[in-house]
Amino acid sequence: MQLSRFTDYTLRVLFFVATNEDRLVTLAEIADYYGISIEHLRKVVHALSKSDYLATYRGKNGGIKLARPTSDMNLADIVVQAEGEQPLINCGQQMCRLTGFCSLQGALAEAQKAFTDVLRKYTVEDLLKNPKMRAELLNTL
């Protein structure tokens, strides 16, 4: 079971911007920090901006900052949105003959709900209470 790279990068961006919240950060800086392609990050930041997690400012002194408090960034919402609508098992891709009759779907849906329910207990604020994680994100470790 895997989350997409897009979700991975979405969370990393939020952690970085949130920890450096006293200033505007740049795409290049995040790309450099994590060693990730700036093009991948651009899509992530665009999506996070559209959904009001981040605010972006253009221009020479432009950059990225949070658009809402980290206490209002629920892990379930972030992951569900970044993952999109893709199902756990893609029954349609190979046109499985059991589609419409298959009991597996109910069990998987129930399991996925349990997964999301756990994530719903956590916000980005909760995760960033970890001092070592904050120090690493501030490059002061």
SS3 74: strand
φ, ψ for residue 29, nearest 5 deg:
-65, -45
At residue 65, φ and ψ (nearest 5 deg) are -145, 175
Binding flags for its own copies, 43-82, as an x/- string (CB under 8 A): --------------------------------x---x---
Specify burial of residue 44 (Cβ count, 10 A radius: 0-12, 13-18, 19+): buried
Among 46, 62, 69, 89, binds its own copies (CB under 8 A): 89
Among 24, 33, 67, 74, binds its own copies (CB under 8 A): 33
Q: Is 140 in the site for its own copies (CB under 8 A)?
A: no
Of residues 55 and 133, the one with the C-beta less far from its own copies: 133
Q: CA 19, CA 128: separation in Å to the nearest integer?
A: 8
| Count of positions on this chain that bind its own copies (CB under 8 A) | 54
In whole angstroms, give the CA distance from residue 137 to residue 115.
27
Site of interaction with its own copies (CB under 8 A): 1-4, 7-8, 11-12, 15, 33-36, 75, 79, 83, 86-90, 94-98, 101-104, 107-108, 110-112, 114-119, 121-122, 126-130, 132-133, 135-137, 141
